[in-house]
Structures are given as C-alpha cells and as structure tokens.
C-alpha cells in the first residue's frame, strides 16, 4: 500500500475546504437580500440575518436571571464593579469618570482590551510591549467621557478551554462574554451616572472583535470604534500569506466561530451595525492585516451606508502605526457622533 495515503487525505480535505470557504461571495448572495428603498426597509430586510447572528453567538439561559452587583471605590474617580450572574462566577469591570467632575449624564465609552491586555492598560496604569493602548481610556476621561473597562479572558489557552466547553452547550466564549457585556450595560444604564443615549464601544484587537460582534445585537450602543481587528475575514482565517498573519496555523482556536463564514464576513457585520456610526482603525505596520485587503473588505462593507446616503457614518482610518489604538481619530469621531 502507498505510504502517503493519510497525508494526501489531509491535503485533499484542506484544499477542498479552502476552496469551499473561499467561495464566500457566491454563498453570501443566497443569504443577504438587502433592500435600500428606505432605512426602515433596509433594517427589515437584514432582520433575518441579525437573528441568525444572534443564534451563532447564542447566550446561555443560565446567565439571564437575577444578577448580584457590588461596587467598590478604589480611587477618587474610579470604581471596581463586580457582577455575579451565577454562583461561582465573578465578572469585574473598572468604571472611571472625569476627575473633579460631578454629573449624572456622562457620555460613556465601553473600552475593551485585547489578548494579553487589561483594563489597567486601558486606563494608563500599565502598558503592553510594544505600547498599544496609549492610556486611551484615561485620556477619554480628560475629554469628558466616562469609561467602563471590563475584564475579558485574555490568553489563548484559557479562551481555548472555555471555547471547547461552550461548544458543548451550543455557544462560544464570545457568546458568553457578549452576554455578560450586555448584563454589564444593563447595570450601567440603571445605576451609573451616564447618559444612556450616548454610549459607545471601543475595542482593540480582540476587543475590536467584541465591538463588531456585540453592536449587531445591542442597539443601546450608539456608535463604535474597531481598532486592529477589521479584516478580509476569509483570507485572514484560512489563507496563509507573507503580508499578514493567518489564524489557521495559530493556537487561537477561539477565533473559529462555528458557521461564521456561512454568511458573516466582516463586511456583513457592518450591515448589521448600520445606520450607526462606526470607525475602523488599521495600522500600516500591523502584521495582523494587509491594507489592500482591508480596503477591499471596507469598500464592500460601505455599500449599505452609501446606498442609504449615510457614508459619512462609516469611516476607515489607515494610520502609520502598528497593532495599536490611534487616539486622536477616535476622539474626534466620538466627539462628533456621541
């Protein structure tokens, strides 16, 4: 018997699966039937896709019941918030308001860290190497915004284990943490000194993914900023290329959501965020993406905004940096739209 049957089998499967996944544009046409007659018609036309997205990142009913919340003052303008949605689970977030200001209607930015990051990096108490966060949360408070920075599971191994266990219950680590972000928002709207009409989300890297994944499901976010995540999703997931890092050979098992590329490339999630304002930030020196492919995906995602005469609400900032926050464009965006 030939001794290369098994290696050939793997190769044939991978080649075939890649071919099927890369046929995404043909598959997409079957799932997206957008109407641009009016904004109301558009929203109605994408509602089946929104429901399908909700099913894809489904939550757990066990975490939807009564939630216990504790707050602890840890600095003059900072609180530690602890949510207990289930016995044995504690979810934490830092809430910071502008120093020396006493209001009940701060605009709020929910700031989400990436892999290896933390709320402390967001608020300037710590920093990644090389610098990625640039204390953007703290700097937002200097411009009158309140900041809510949750702690997310931030390492490959931990996320991978939780992702596998979640799959057995029909959800993912993303679905679990999105559900808890929504519960945190429930508390913020009810109990924190914020204006519930002026709430945005701004995430870096994995936090950018959470921003893109949460906004389609949570209309209470009036705007969003996605830093160092938005990509040509098909190629990013399965096509290895020297221009960017591909997820397929990495240990980031959590990045593979079951059914994602049946109908939800990044451009399509923009359709579920529309008509709300969204800023996408990409660094020219960021190894996770290649600007020509990002532009291709962005241009496709611009279609609903453009057809509805709302193109100014979707922006792409290609900056000279790397895998990092670009603060000034984000600040300008929030001042305009929040």
CATH number of 5-337: 3.40.50.1820
Domain boundaries, the chain: 5-337
pLDDT band at 327 (very low <50, low <70, confident <90, very high): very high
pLDDT band at 2 (very low <50, low <70, confident <90, very high): low
Q: pLDDT for 75-111, tens place per residue?
A: 989 999 999 988 888 899 999 999 988 889 999 999 9
Q: pLDDT for 172-207, tens place per residue?
A: 999 999 999 999 999 999 999 999 999 999 999 999
Pairing of strands 194-204, 106-112: parallel
pTM, whole model, 2 decimals? Answer: 0.96
Q: pLDDT for 12-54, tens place per residue?
A: 999 999 999 999 999 999 999 999 999 999 999 999 999 999 9
pLDDT band at 1 (very low <50, low <70, confident <90, very high): low
Q: Which residues contact 190 (CB under 8 A, 6 or more apart)?
A: none
User: How far is the CA of 268 from the CAs of 94, 179, 275, 300, 319, in angstroms?
Assistant: 32, 21, 13, 9, 24
18-28 CB burial, b ≥16 within 10 A, e <16: eeebeebeeeb
3-class SS at 264? coil
Range list of β-strands (E), the chain: 68-75, 78-86, 89-96, 106-112, 146-150, 194-204, 223-227, 278-283, 314-319
């Amino acid at each position: 018997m030939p001794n290369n049957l098994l290696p050939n089998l793997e190769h044939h499967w991978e080649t075939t699966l890649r071919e099927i996944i890369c046929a995404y544009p043909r598959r997409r046409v079957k799932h997206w039937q957008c109407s641009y007659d009016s904004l109301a018609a558009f929203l109605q036309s994408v509602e089946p896709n929104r429901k399908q997205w909700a099913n894809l990142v489904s939550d757990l009913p066990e975490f939807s019941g009564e939630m216990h919340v504790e707050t602890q003052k840890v600095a003059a303008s900072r609180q530690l918030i602890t949510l207990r949605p289930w016995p044995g689970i504690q979810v934490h977030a830092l809430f910071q308001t502008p120093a020396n200001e006493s209001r009940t209607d701060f605009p709020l930015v929910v700031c989400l860290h990436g892999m290896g990051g933390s709320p402390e990096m967001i608020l300037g108490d710590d920093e990644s190497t090389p610098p990625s966060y640039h204390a953007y949360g703290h700097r937002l408070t200097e411009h009158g915004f309140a900041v809510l920075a949750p702690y997310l599971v931030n390492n490959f191994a931990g996320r991978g284990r939780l992702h596998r266990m979640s799959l057995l219950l029909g959800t993912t680590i993303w679905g679990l943490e999105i559900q808890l972000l929504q519960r945190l928002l429930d508390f913020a709207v009810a109990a924190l000194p914020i204006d519930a009409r002026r709430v945005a989300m701004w995430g870096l890297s994995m936090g950018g993914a959470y921003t893109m994944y949460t906004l389609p499901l949570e209309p209470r976010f009036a705007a969003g900023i996605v830093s160092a995540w938005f990509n040509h999703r098909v190629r990013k997931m399965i096509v290895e290329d020297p221009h960017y890092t591909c997820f397929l050979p990495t240990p980031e098992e959590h990045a593979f959501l079951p059914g994602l590329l049946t109908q939800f490339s990044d451009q399509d999630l923009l359709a579920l965020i529309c008509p709300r304002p969204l800023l996408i930030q990409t660094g020219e020196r960021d190894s996770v993406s290649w600007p020509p492919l990002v532009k291709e995906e962005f241009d496709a995602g611009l279609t609903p905004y453009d057809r509805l005469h709302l193109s100014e609400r979707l922006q792409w900032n290609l900056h000279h940096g790397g895998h990092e926050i670009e603060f000034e464009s984000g600040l300008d965006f929030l001042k305009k739209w929040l």
